[in-house]
Chains A and B, each alone.
Chain A
Amino acid sequence: MTNNAASELTLQAVPSWMPAFLVAPMIGGLSLADLIALVVLLLFVLNFVMIEIWMERKVAGHIQLRRGPLHVGPHGSLQSPADVLKLLTKEDLTPVAADPIVFPMAPYLVFVPVFLTFLVIPWGPLVLFGNFVIRPFDLGLVYMVAIPAMQGIGLVMAGWSSGNKYSLLGSARVVAQLISYELPMVIALLGVAMMAESLNLTTIVESQMKQGWNVFLQPIGFLVFFLATMSEMSRAPFDIAVAESEIVGGPFVEYSGMRWGMFYLAEFAAVCLNSALSTALFLGGWELFPGSRALGLGWISDQFGLLFFMGKMIVLVLIIQWARFALPRLRIDQLMDFAWKFLLPAGFVNFILTAILQVFGFVPFAIGIGLTLAFAAVLLATYQARRSPSTVALIRTAAAAAVPTSQGVGLPV
């Protein structure tokens, strides 16, 4: 994380996001300030992941009427560092059937794309430190779609190279999921790009401060993006790729020790990343509350914006964790139906409505939103009416059949 002055130091000819790690040092696109920023960012991600894991275990505990980790440190807050130490000292097993080259390489290919995507996030300003953003890159929106797409290759490599059929099944599911959910995500992002008329994440945040947060102007887009990213990172209820009860753990089955830790790290870093992206794209980035600028309170966001950004991000992380423990896992066919029959059409509706807003103004847009909601309500009602009997109804029927009637007929117990 570096301030504005440092990012202006980079050569004009070099695209402003150059630290694609390998190329950049060679053509002089990486200054010392950038290196320091990268180290700080890496430390932030690693530490945030540890806090996130502790949060998740606490959330899980309280949702399930337990207390979660309690003994290591106050309220178990040092549990994650202890776990990391344990992972570091564990043996890295390589199964006999595993591929000797691809197997050790896969965990890094899963984590590195996630980390690289953090480079474009506009974290916002903080007093005395300046504005925290590593690369205010003009193609930020394309970058944040393109780079995480590489993650799939790592997962597929992990699944294939393990030499285990559960891993292979897991990577087949990863592919199906990634390909299906990338589309609605990109379609939802089109609306954001149209609102801000820019692909630069910093510009997108600033435009939201002028015309209102995207979560209000793009409610459908936010829903589609948030659900699609949740699925992209294989979080429950979309975690069919790692479903423990079906395929034991998907592509990671054969991994142990720190290599397994890398997958875990990548998963939690992705939760942080996607919450940060949702914050920047839809929740007004570092603004305190919508319309604060009009009330003359813009200076609060300009001074302490980073804190508000982090706050919103943590709220989104908590929502993602809440969903994990409150909702049952979708079946794979339900998952596919959800992407193709709900999210994708919803994304297109959002796209068309945004175009209406930009061309015809707010009133036709509001009418369009109203019509969409009415249509969705009608659809939902017909779906509920046509739906096959619910599980509860099935159990009731079975229970009624099982009770011995006057004829003495019942299910054998």
Chain B
Amino acid sequence: MELSALAFYVVAGVTLVAALGVVVARSVVYAALLLILSLVMTGLIYLLLLADFLALIQILVYGGTVSILLLFALMLTPPETRPELNHRGWALGAVASGALFVLLLVASLADKWPAAGGTRHISLVDLGRALFSTWAVPFEVASVVLLVALLGALTIARSTTPGSKIAPRASA
């Protein structure tokens, strides 16, 4: 087997095991930590596909920031009120994820995908040029969507106390 293919199988295997662990783990914090592992490993898969910018952004956004917020939210809930994870809904979950898997499989078989290690490395300059010329409109639309989400988050965060225009300042 080619070395890059071997690397891919190792990384993909760890990703899948970690992802399975997220579903199986009974402790919420373990599930979150395994989710982080799975997300970082996804970044390594991007790396093996020579998409180094995407890999770094994956590690920065999902490995660093999003997962920290996730852990933060978990820790702010006291352990007594945290529900014990159970696996009662596993049949429904299996059907739903199976359906999603088939959908993705069909979609991915319809297109030809690059193999690990074999593709051309796309430089950041090419990426930037493509983003700001060919894909300028989708890029701007994405930024508008993000802005709307940001404002929505602010609105939700501020409306905790009814009647007041601004949520009270956290006491120092």
A and B associate in one complex: yes
Which positions in A face B, CB cutoff 8 Å?
13-15, 17, 20, 22-23, 26-28, 102, 138-139, 142-143, 145-147, 149-150, 152-153, 156-157, 159-160, 168, 171-172, 175, 178-179, 182, 199, 331-333
**Hey, which chain B residues are within 8 Å of A172, CB to CB?**
72, 75-76
**Hey, which chain A residues are within 8 Å of B47, CB to CB?**
15, 20, 23
Tell me the interface secondary structure of chain B in the complex. helix
B133 at the interface (CB under 8 A from A): no
B71 & A146 in contact (Cβ 8 Å cutoff) = no
Tell me the interface secondary structure of chain A in the complex. helix
| Bound: A178/B66 CA distance, A | 12
15 additional A-B residue pairs with CB within 8 Å, beyond A13-B117, A102-B29, A199-B124? A15-B47, A15-B121, A26-B10, A138-B123, A145-B60, A149-B63, A150-B59, A150-B64, A153-B71, A156-B72, A156-B75, A160-B29, A175-B69, A331-B172, A333-B170
Known: A138-B124, A153-B67. A27 touches B75 (CB 8 A): no
B104 at the interface (CB under 8 A from A): no
B63 & A150 in contact (Cβ 8 Å cutoff) = yes
| Bound: A367/B57 CA distance, A | 36
| Bound: A146/B47 CA distance, A | 14
| Bound: A15/B119 CA distance, A | 12
| Bound: A142/B52 CA distance, A | 10
A149 & B123 in contact (Cβ 8 Å cutoff) = no
Q: Per-residue CB proximity of B43-82 to A under 8 Å, as 1/0?
A: 0100110101100110110011101110110011000000
30 A-B Cβ contacts within 8 A? A14-B50, A15-B47, A23-B7, A23-B47, A26-B4, A27-B4, A28-B3, A102-B29, A139-B52, A139-B56, A145-B60, A146-B59, A146-B60, A149-B59, A149-B65, A150-B40, A152-B64, A153-B67, A156-B68, A156-B75, A157-B33, A157-B71, A159-B75, A168-B75, A171-B75, A172-B76, A175-B71, A179-B65, A332-B172, A333-B172
Distance from B4 Cβ to chain A, minimum over Cβ atoms (Å): 5
Distance from B159 Cβ to chain A, minimum over Cβ atoms (Å): 20
Which positions in B face A, CB cutoff 8 Å?
3-4, 6-7, 10-11, 29, 33, 36, 40, 44, 47-48, 50, 52-53, 56-57, 59-60, 63-65, 67-69, 71-72, 75-76, 117, 121, 123-124, 169-170, 172
| Bound: A28/B6 CA distance, A | 12
A153 & B65 in contact (Cβ 8 Å cutoff) = no
**Hey, which chain B residues are within 8 Å of A156, CB to CB?**
68, 71-72, 75
Instruction: Count A/B pairs, Cβ under 8 Å.
Output: 97
**Hey, which chain B residues are within 8 Å of A175, CB to CB?**
68-69, 71-72
Q: What 10 A-B pairs are tightest by C-beta distance, nearest first?
A: A149-B64, A146-B60, A26-B7, A333-B172, A15-B52, A146-B56, A175-B72, A27-B4, A142-B56, A152-B68
Distance from A135 Cβ to chain B, minimum over Cβ atoms (Å): 11
Distance from A358 Cβ to chain B, minimum over Cβ atoms (Å): 15
A13 & B29 in contact (Cβ 8 Å cutoff) = no
**Hey, which chain B residues are within 8 Å of A139, CB to CB?**
52-53, 56, 124
**Hey, which chain B residues are within 8 Å of A26, CB to CB?**
3-4, 6-7, 10
